[in-house]
Every structure is written in structure tokens, then in C-alpha cells.
């Protein structure tokens, strides 16, 4: 039994500066220099990076009761998400998880397919040939609209749109600051940022509470996730109070759009570098969908491979953390109680042992046989185990339908040749400088022309 190897760092602040100034490079270097388990110190706290699939599987699947959400994470997310399922642990998490899970039943999610294609069509309709758009911004707006409609049966493109968008920006920045600053500003301090934070939380709270009050008053099931949360009952027959409904709603709202938007952004960026992949996607959509809109029932296997490979090369959920509730032995190494266990899909998905030529974008690698032969935790874009992302199937369906609709409408990636993304590892990995894309529509022919005409003249 021994402590993992790792950089010594500064005698006082350890590796804090190296980590903060180049997080992706730092964590990738740990694997290269010290192996699959590496120890380092950030902000006066011990961290252990674990990137061995067998060890990660043991942490997330075999012994999840010993590896909890870190207290610091729960404190950060509690600022905005309250006591939602993302922050909870133990019996509280089990109760909330059981009550929310039916909202993500396949039958319920399938009903949202038309919403996803409809909103994507509306976005495309607003574009003009030759127009330069920020694809990252467009995807964020699109997924925000979709999650608002499917969660609240609400349209955030109306009068409340700007309020919600601005509030989300403020809250996202506050969460990032709390994570990245070695000594964050206390929440009670009357700083300008804290005042903006409280105002933003208040803005969203009022909007959400109005929707909850109206739904409880009418008792109407509008087929959205909020209706499911209000109707949910635990084993004792008790439902959620307004605060829990609010907290769970905001958790789903916050987690349900940004990571998918960034995953789609990175996918589009990679497609811009690989026109041969775009051609294969076009051929699949034309063959499977013909002259009708893509649906949830379509077998779009190649598009699924494209998105899976994009999440391997540039995963928007680039890291997640756990905290041992007691000293735990993983393999030959001791993980002490209270340390931060750092698991990074960005690092793990680049392992050449499991992904030959890991820097190469090759969707064809994701065959069913390839996936069956992967070690259980070698590919973890949605985490795994009891705390696997509940919205996984929602996100995969959303990405498939958005990409298929873009392709069917003739949209092709046109990214300026001088563009280089600045990888920004915040709560979600995103391009700090956005993703400029010059709108270009492939001239329609055959089935595509019929689809375009039917949409222009419903």
C-alpha cells in the first residue's frame, strides 16, 4: 500500500499555478509522466487523478457508496441548483433519483423528437447563405430552447428569453469562479459579482416559480418533464414540495443544454476538417429518411458513430470528481479520505492502448464490436454507474436529430481556414473564441428539394 506518484510542485501551493494556467496540458502530462494514478496538490488540497479503466470502474460502479460528490462541488452547485439530484448523496440522492428517473423513460423522451427537429428547422430558416454565425452560440440557443420546451413546455425565445440567457451567463461565470479561484470570494460578501449572482438567481427563480404555481393550480399534464416531477411520488406516496421541484427543474435545465451544445459545437468543428465524413452523413440521411423529416425511429448508425467519436476526441464533459468517504485502496495505491479523485474523459479517451491513433477523428472506429471489446470504463462521456447522467439518452437523441436535420437541409460546415479553437476547460469544455461558421447550403436535389419545399409551404 503506497501513495501515488506525482509532481512535487511548490512547497506551499503545490501545482496550483500549473493547473490553473494550463489544465488540459497539466492533466494530460500527469498520465504521460506518472501513469494511470497520479497525486498532486491544488489550492492546499490533495488531488488524485485516476485514468485506468479498471480503477475508474471500481470507483464509479463497484464501490460508489465510498466515493461521494466532493463537498466543495456540492457547495458550489447549491448556490444555484439548491438540493437537486446533482448535489445530493446517500438516502436523499436515492429518493430523488427514483422519483426523477421515470421522467427519462424512453417512451417519455421519444415524444420530444418532433420538438427537436422543429426547433432545428426554425434555426436553419433564420440563416442566410454566406452569413457568418457563431455555431457555438447557435447551438447554445437551440439546446436552451429545446430544454425549456421539453422541461417547462415554455418558449424562452419570447419576452423572457433575454432574462433567462443573461441570468444563465452570470450564474455560469459565478460557478466557474468558485471552482477556479484558489480562495473564492465568500457568498455573503457584498461584491459586485455576488450582487449580480443573487439578482440572476432571483430572476430565474421568479420565472420557474410562476410556471410551477400555474401547473399546480391547473393540475394539467402537458407532457413535459415538469409535469412528471409534480406528479412523482416516492415509496411512501409523498410528492415533491415546491422547493424540491424547483431545485430538480433547475438542475435539469442547467445540465440539459450547455454540455450538449458544446458537444455539438466540437462535432461541427471536426466535421469542418473532414468533408469525407460529411458526405457519408449526407448519403445515410438521404438513404434512411428520403423525403421526410428525421424521426426517433430512424436507424442513423453512422451519425451516432460521428457523435460518439466527437465526444471521444473533444468531450464537453471533460472531467468529474469524487471524494472518498474513508481511506480506500485502489489497486496498489491508497486514496486518502477527503482527497479529490479527479477523473478526466479528456485524458482517458486519448489512451492509445484502447483508441489507436487517438488524435485522429475516425467515426468508423465505433463499431458495435469495437464498443463490446472496450474495457468497461475506457469511454465515459456520460460517466457511468448509479450516477450515470440521467439525460444520456435524451442528449444522444437530441444530437442525432439535430445533426440529421442540419445535413438533410443541406447545411455544410464552412469554418474559416485561419480559425484555431482555444480550448476552454470550464464547467464544460468549450471553444473560448466560439466557432465561426459561414452558412452554406448544398444545392438541393431529389428528396432534399422536396423536403425543403414542403417545409417552406406547410
pLDDT, average across residues 95-121? 88
436 and 344 co-located in one domain: no
The CA–CA distances, whole Å, from 91 to 63, 98, 316, 340, 386 equal 16, 11, 29, 22, 13
288 and 404 co-located in one domain: yes
Q: How does the average pLDDT of the chain come out, rounded?
A: 89
Cβ proximity of 317 and 264 under 8 Å:
no
Q: Which has the minimum average pLDDT: 119-123, 182-186, 356-360, 418-422?
A: 182-186
pLDDT, average across residues 354-378? 97
pLDDT, average across residues 448-452? 50
pLDDT exceeds 90 at position 205:
no
Name residue 438's beta-bridge partners. Answer: 132
Q: Is residue 93 part of a domain?
A: no
336 and 425 co-located in one domain: no
411 and 343 co-located in one domain: no
* Higher per-residue pLDDT: 216 or 327: 327
pLDDT exceeds 60 at position 204:
yes
Query: How many degrees, rounded to 5, is the angle at CA 250 between CA 247 and CA 254?
Result: 140
Q: Which has the minimum average pLDDT: 65-79, 273-287, 343-357?
A: 65-79
Q: pLDDT tens digits for 236-252?
A: 889 898 888 888 888 88
User: What angle, 0 to 180 degrees and rounded to 10, lies between the N-to-C axes of helices 161-180 and 192-218?
Assistant: 130
443 and 368 co-located in one domain: yes
pTM of this structure: 0.91
pLDDT exceeds 90 at position 279:
yes
pLDDT exceeds 80 at position 292:
yes
**Can you give the CATH number for the domain in which 456 is found?**
1.10.630.10
pLDDT score at 184? 61
Helices (H), 219-274: 225-231, 242-255, 258-273
Q: Is residue 181 part of a domain?
A: no
Its domain, for residue 390, covers: 113-139+256-313+360-458
Q: Residues 6 or more apart from 180 whose CB is under 8 A from it?
A: 20, 426
pLDDT score at 84? 82
303 and 379 co-located in one domain: yes
pLDDT, average across residues 394-409? 97
274 and 402 co-located in one domain: yes
Q: Is residue 234 part of a domain?
A: no
Q: Residues 6 or more apart from 387 whose CB is under 8 A from it?
A: 60, 64
pLDDT exceeds 70 at position 6:
yes
Q: Is residue 188 part of a domain?
A: no
Q: pLDDT tens digits for 137-168?
A: 999 999 988 988 888 887 665 556 667 767 77
Q: Is residue 193 part of a domain?
A: no
304 and 333 co-located in one domain: no
Assign 346 a pLDDT band (cuts: 50, 70, 90). very high
Q: How far apart are CA 444 and CA 441, in angstroms?
A: 8
309 and 323 co-located in one domain: no
Total of domains in the chain: 2
C-alpha dihedral, 145 to 146 to 147 to 150, nearest 10°: 120
Radius of gyration of the chain, Cα coordinates, nearest whole angstrom: 22
**Can you give the CATH number for the domain in which 342 is found?**
3.30.43.20
Q: How far apart are CA 182 and CA 173, in angstroms?
A: 15
pLDDT exceeds 50 at position 221:
yes
Amino acid at each position: 500500500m503506497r501513495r501515488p506518484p506525482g509532481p512535487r510542485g511548490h512547497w506551499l501551493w503545490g501545482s496550483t499555478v500549473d493547473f490553473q494556467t494550463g489544465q488540459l496540458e497539466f492533466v494530460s502530462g500527469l498520465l504521460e509522466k506518472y501513469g494511470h494514478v497520479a497525486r498532486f496538490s491544488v489550492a492546499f488540497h490533495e488531488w488524485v487523478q485516476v485514468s485506468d479503466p479498471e480503477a475508474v470502474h471500481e470507483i464509479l460502479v463497484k464501490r460508489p457508496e465510498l466515493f461521494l460528490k466532493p463537498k466543495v462541488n456540492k457547495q458550489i452547485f447549491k448556490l444555484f441548483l439548491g438540493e437537486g439530484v446533482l448535489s445530493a448523496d446517500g438516502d436523499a440522492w436515492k429518493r430523488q433519483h427514483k422519483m426523477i428517473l421515470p421522467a427519462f423513460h424512453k417512451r417519455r423522451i421519444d415524444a420530444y423528437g418532433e420538438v427537436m427537429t422543429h426547433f432545428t428547422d426554425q434555426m436553419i430558416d433564420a440563416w442566410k447563405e454566406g452569413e457568418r454565425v457563431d455555431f457555438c452560440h447557435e447551438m447554445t440557443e437551440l439546446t436552451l430552447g429545446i430544454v425549456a420546451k421539453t422541461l417547462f413546455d415554455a418558449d424562452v425565445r419570447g419576452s423572457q428569453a433575454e432574462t433567462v440567457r443573461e441570468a444563465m451567463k452570470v450564474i455560469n461565470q459565478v460557478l466557474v469562479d468558485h471552482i477556479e479561484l484558489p480562495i473564492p470570494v465568500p457568498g455573503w460578501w457584498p461584491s459586485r459579482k455576488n450582487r449580480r449572482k443573487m439578482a440572476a438567481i432571483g430572476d430565474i427563480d421568479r420565472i420557474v416559480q410562476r410556471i410551477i404555481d400555474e401547473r399546480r393550480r391547473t393540475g394539467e399534464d402537458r407532457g413535459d418533464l415538469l409535469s412528471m416531477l409534480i406528479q412523482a411520488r416516492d415509496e411512501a406516496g409523498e410528492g415533491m414540495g415546491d422547493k424540491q421541484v424547483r431545485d430538480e427543474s433547475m438542475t435539469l435545465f442547467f445540465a440539459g443544454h450547455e454540455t450538449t451544445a458544446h458537444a455539438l459545437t466540437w462535432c461541427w468543428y471536426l466535421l469542418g476538417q473532414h468533408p469525407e465524413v460529411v458526405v457519408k452523413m449526407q448519403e445515410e440521411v438521404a438513404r434512411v429518411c428520403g423525403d421526410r423529416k428525421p424521426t426517433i425511429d430512424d436507424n442513423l448508425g453512422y451519425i451516432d458513430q460521428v457523435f460518439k467519436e466527437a465526444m471521444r476526441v473533444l468531450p464537453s464533459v471533460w472531467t468529474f470528481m469524487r471524494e472518498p468517504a474513508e481511506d480506500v485502496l485502489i489497486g496498489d495505491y491508497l486514496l486518502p479520505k477527503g482527497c479529490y479523485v479527479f477523473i478526466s474523459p479528456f485524458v482517458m479517451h486519448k489512451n492509445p492502448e484502447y483508441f489507436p491513433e487517438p488524435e485522429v477523428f475516425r467515426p468508423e472506429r465505433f463499431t458495435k464490436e469495437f464498443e463490446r471489446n472496450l474495457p468497461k470504463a475506457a469511454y465515459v462521456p456520460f460517466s457511468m454507474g448509479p450516477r450515470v447522467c440521467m439525460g444520456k439518452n435524451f442528449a444522444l437523441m437530441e444530437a442525432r436529430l439535430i445533426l440529421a436535420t442540419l445535413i438533410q437541409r443541406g447545411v455544410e460546415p464552412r469554418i474559416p481556414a485561419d480559425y484555431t479553437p482555444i480550448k476552454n476547460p470550464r464547467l464544460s469544455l468549450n471553444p473560448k473564441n466560439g466557432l465561426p461558421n459561414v452558412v452554406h447550403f448544398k444545392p438541393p436535389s431529389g428528396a432534399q428539394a422536396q423536403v425543403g419545399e414542403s417545409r417552406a409551404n406547410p
